[in-house]
A and B are shown apart, each in its own frame.
Chain A
Amino acid sequence: MWVVSVLCLNTIIYQTSYALDSSSINWQTYLESLIEHAETKNLAASRTWHVLLHYRANSFSSGVTSEVDGSEFFLAQEGKTKPAAELEATLRAFFSDEEIGKEKLTPQCAFPARYHWLDSQLKFNSLMMPVNRCETLEKWRKEVDPESVSLIFSSYFLNNPASMFGHTLLRFNRKGDDSPGLLDYAINYSADPEGESNPLVYVWKGVTGGFQGRFAINRYYDIVKQYNDIDNRDLWEYRLNLSPDQIDMLLLHLWEISKTNFDYFFFRENCSYHLLSMLEVADPELQLREEFWAWTLPTETIKRVSDTPELVESVTRRPSLSSQINQSLKLMTDEERAYLKELIEIDQEKLPIFNLLPPERQAFITDTAINFLHYQNNDRNPGLDKKKMYSLLLQRSQLPGSKSQVSTVPGLVSPDKGHDPARFEITGGEFQSDGRFPEASRKSFVELSIQPGFHSLLSLEDGHAPNSQINYLNLEMRYESKSQEWRLQKFNLVEIISLYPLNLLNYEPSWKIVAGWERNRDYSCANCLPFIINFGLGTAYQSSLFNREVYFGFLDINFESDHELNSGYRAGFGTTVGLLFDITHHWRIALTGNFKQFTSGEKGSVNRVELRQRYYLSRNLEVIFDIKSAGKYREGKLGIAYYF
């Protein structure tokens, strides 16, 4: 007891002397010594400092520039490009109690990650400098209270160009076994394109960095509602193996970075890119961003993280509403599906009673009907029948409680296991263009094709959106034996196909859009290279008679422009029908027929039939065998393609 009181007394005396001395202690001298110490240790050149300030080496000159664009993030005038100046200004600011920024925080409280790291390097002496208490920060830290961090991948959403390639965000999993996951916090980096309704301006601004990007912090239930329920996207959760200190650093840095902004670039400096930089802050040893110099595809960042040894602890999937419903449908008998249909379709408040089934099955069918109405009734479709939903819920509440909710769908492959985005193809074959097939008229060719992304109808679907195609900047060159020269065969800007097989849930139309240059082989202009625009709207149906078959049909609008065409162009309507057929998981076939009637410009019609086959030797290697006929033109080719 005595010892304790002496200790306490000591402390008090110590503090008093500190208080007496504080005005006379020369903080200035200590500050100068810290700056000198930092210079000796060359801290401004260290990886952690560069990561904290988001510096990146300049492409065309020496030096670095920070990716942060908000001026409030820098304490030195030239902080955006001068790491040493920023470090010195930061140390100086830590001796000031001037409140900065919108939230009126002292520099120590506004930049806690910098403070934490500089303290660890320079061993701040709290007696020689001011120490601020940061109450709002501490309160916030306690509220988020993370035990671990997950990287979340929200799967592809083809109906919005900004979400076609998926989206990523970070989730802080709160401490405590009983804390529900829905109350966790998530960090979402996104652009704020509010008020920009002109699509051309939207794209232009997106590409050139015209939007401001910011980190926003939401509850996970907000995220689940938006992505899982409204946009109907699966959420893949990659739980990361980070230490408590690393998580804390991430949290502190989030505090300082969420108050500023970046110029948002769709291609490279997008959501996924900046999340990688957040992970680098947690562990500066990680070098995740380096390989992304031109564009950052969310799937590729997921792969990059998954491929880092010991970084990912586990992967789980939160299925979207439609995934849950589809899975429930598979678990029902025909009789049960008939009940379900009745439940959904009957347009009255008095619902049919199906007492013959055991209560658990009644509950399961009612649950599925509720999910289905919820799916129809979300924010995309407000004002649907709320009364109907309510009577279903009332009826459901009379049935026994269930544990039968579908949470897993077997056989699904996570997005990090998908094929790589870029593709190189080499094929060789023969063609002839006069309709007969005499040996002499056949000519052989070799073809090279390269495309930076992303996924074709016939690509392996593991980890990708099914029944879809998003290709861009595909370049095809052909060498023909007769002409003995390389010629451009095709250069497409974009080629998107989105097939939505009809089922109980879905009656959304399928659609496609193609724009680019493609060499013609038809009635006139047999060798010209017109600029083509094609848009098609149609429908699809899926069966599983053999393995999986998808049938589709489109009504097309076509426009082609080339100076060799009469009047320089031709335009008209057309149809496309086709069948996608999986013989095995690795052997995929597409049969398509295409008819075009040109009614404007140079008139005429074209028929085209194509059979394409892909056999996958591994997830990135495919064997190709295609045959094609267009008018009198015939062609067959064989080759391989590699994804990288």
Chain B
Amino acid sequence: MQQYRFVAVAQDNLAMDIARGSGEYVTTMAYLEGCPTEVHDSFTKMVQHNFNIIFPQPESDPETILIKLEEKIAADPLLAAQCRGIS
């Protein structure tokens, strides 16, 4: 729920931070997905690399973004083990 509201409000900034592979919006997203600080760098690299999947089109809706993002976390062995999505 928290993630959803964050993505809905801050979607533009989040997309920008994910595309450039740095910034507080992407770190906040990692935090909301329950990823510990040690894996934030891996999280950031992973989402930047998968930008086109997490944001499949110019105006993606927050639900799609979250589903795609969490699929990608689940598919990444390190992140899947470390991040425990808080809802």
- Is A393 a contact partner of B25 (Cβ separation < 8 A)? no
CB of A436 closer than 8 Å to a CB of B: no
What residues on A are CB-neighbors of B6 within 8 Å?
Answer: 182-183, 219, 221
CB nearest neighbor in B for A400: B21
Nearest chain A CB to B36 CB, angstrom units: 8
**B-chain residues with CB within 8 Å of residue A183 when the two chains form the complex:** 6, 28, 31-32
Which residue in B10, B22, B37, B58 is a CB contact (below 8 Å) of A221?
Answer: B10
Q: Which residue of A lies closest to B60 (CB)?
A: A390
Shortest A210–chain B CB gap in Å is: 31
Q: Which of B9, B10, B21, B59 contacts A401 (CB 8 A)?
A: B21
Contact of B22 among A177, A181, A386, A405 (CB under 8 A): A405
- How far does the alpha carbon of A428 sit from the alpha carbon of B15 in the complex, in Å? 61
Within 8 A of A (CB), among B33-52: 36-37, 44-45, 48-49, 51-52
Known A-B contacts A183-B31, A402-B22; A393 and B16 likewise in contact (beta carbons under 8 Å): yes
Measured in the bound complex, the distance between the Cα atoms of B5 and A221 in whole Å is 10
Asked if B16 contacts A370 (CB within 8 A), the reply is yes
Q: Are B10 and A387 in contact (CB under 8 A)?
A: no
A177 to B21, CA, bound (A): 21
B31 touches A374 (CB 8 A): no
Q: Please tell me if B12 contacts chain A, counting CB pairs below 8 Å.
A: yes
Q: Are B37 and A178 in contact (CB under 8 A)?
A: yes
B2 to chain A, nearest CB (A): 8
Dominant SS among interface residues on chain A: helix
Could you mark each residue 1-15 of chain B with 1 if its beta carbon is under 8 Å from any beta carbon of chain A, else 0?
A: 000011001101101
Complex Cα distance A377/B11, Å? 13
8 Å CB contacts to B: which residues of A381-409? 386-387, 389-390, 393-394, 396-397, 400-403, 405
Assess whether A182 is in contact with B21, with CB atoms less than 8 Å apart.
no
Q: How far is the CB of B63 from chain A (nearest CB, A)?
A: 18
Taking CB atoms and an 8 Å cut-off, the chain A residues in 193-223 that contact chain B are 219, 221-222
**Contact A401 B48, CB 8 Å, known A370-B19, A393-B16, A393-B19:** yes
Q: Cα distance A43–B65 when bound, in Å? A: 56
Contact A225 B31, CB 8 Å, known A178-B37, A370-B19, A401-B48 = no
A358 to chain B: which residues have CB within 8 Å? none
- Between B6, B13, B36, the greatest number of chain A beta carbons within 10 A of the residue's beta carbon is seen for B13
Would A180 and B10 be within 8 Å (CB), given that A370-B19, A393-B15, A396-B19 are in contact?
Answer: no
B57 at the interface (CB under 8 A from A): yes
Within 8 Å by CB of A179, from B13, B31, B45, B52, lies B31
Query: Chain A's nearest CB lies how many Å from the CB of B82?
Result: 13
Q: How large is the interface on B (under 10, 10 to 19, 20 to 34, 35 or more residues)?
A: 20 to 34
| B58 lies within 8 A of A389 (CB) | yes
Q: Main SS of chain B's interface residues?
A: helix
Please tell me the number of chain A residues within 8 Å of chain B, measured between CB atoms.
Answer: 33
Q: How far is the CB of B87 from chain A (nearest CB, A)?
A: 14
Q: For A177, give the chain B residue with the smallest CB separation.
A: B37
Please tell me which one of the listed residues A177, A178, A219, A397 contacts residue B19 in the complex, with CB atoms under 8 A apart.
A397
Is A229 interfacial (CB 8 A cutoff)? yes
B37 to chain A, nearest CB (A): 5
A397 touching B48, Cβ below 8 Å: yes
Contact B20 A221 (CB under 8 A): no
Inter-chain CA distance A181–B5, complex, in Å, is 16
Q: Is the CB of B51 within 8 A of A225?
A: no
Is A254 interfacial (CB 8 A cutoff)?
no
- Pair A394/B51 contact, Cβ less than 8 Å: yes
- Other-chain residue from B21, B55, B57 in contact with A402 (beta carbon distance below 8 A): B21
In the assembled complex, the Cα of A377 lies from the Cα of B22 at a distance in Å of: 21
What A residues does B24 contact at CB under 8 A? 180-182
The residues of B that contact A179 with a CB separation of less than 8 Å are: 31
Chain A residues whose C-beta falls within 8 Å of the C-beta of B10 in the assembled complex: 182, 221, 225
- The answer for the CA separation of A397 and B9 in the assembled complex, in Å, is 22
B contact residues around A221 at 8 Å (CB) = 6, 9-10, 28
User: Which residue of chain B is the closest to A364 with respect to CB atoms?
Assistant: B20
Q: Does A278 contact B (CB under 8 A)?
A: no
Closest-by-CB residue of B relative to A387 is: B58
Asked whether, in the complex, the Cβ of A180 is within 8 Å of the Cβ of B52, the reply is no
- What residues of chain B lie closer than 8 Å to A222, measured between beta carbons? 9
- Nearest chain B CB to A220's CB is how many angstroms away? 10
Measured CA separation A326–B11 after assembly (Å): 23
A400 CA to B22 CA in the complex, in Å?
10
CA distance A396 to B36 in the complex (A): 26
In the bound complex, what is the Cα–Cα distance between A363 and B19 (angstroms)?
Answer: 10
B51 touching A393, Cβ below 8 Å: yes
User: Does A447 count as interface, using CB distance less than 8 angstroms?
Assistant: no
Residues of A within 8 A of B25 (CB): 182
8 Å CB contact of B52 from A182, A370, A377, A397: A397
A-B pairs with beta carbons under 8 Å apart, 24 shown: A178-B36, A178-B37, A181-B24, A182-B10, A182-B28, A183-B28, A183-B32, A219-B6, A221-B6, A225-B10, A229-B12, A370-B19, A374-B12, A387-B58, A389-B58, A390-B55, A390-B57, A393-B15, A393-B19, A396-B19, A397-B19, A397-B48, A401-B20, A405-B22
Given contacts A370-B16, A397-B19, A402-B20, 6 further A-B contacts (CB under 8 A): A219-B6, A219-B9, A225-B9, A394-B19, A401-B44, A403-B22
